[in-house]
């Protein structure tokens, strides 16, 4: 099991979601993707996208302007 880190600090829509989708495609089943960013809307959009893709949302932490989201593929 690997951990894939995606840093999207300073990026706005749609970049964070696009980068997360790229990471999900690279990830093997069971891998954990950790996304760190600062765009408030992405803090909501990324968990919704993970749920839509039937992935396991492990955590959403931080403030709307500085957050970390962990997803298991």
List residues with catalytic annotation. 13
CA distances from 21 to 4, 24, 53 (A): 12, 5, 10
């Amino acid at each position: 099991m690997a951990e894939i880190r995606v840093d999207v600090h300073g990026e706005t829509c749609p970049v964070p979601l696009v980068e997360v989708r790229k990471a999900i495609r690279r990830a093997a089943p069971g891998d954990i993707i950790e996304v760190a960013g600062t765009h408030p809307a992405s803090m909501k959009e990324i968990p919704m996208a993970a749920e839509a893709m039937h992935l396991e949302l492990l955590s959403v932490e931080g403030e709307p302007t500085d957050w970390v989201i962990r997803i298991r593929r």
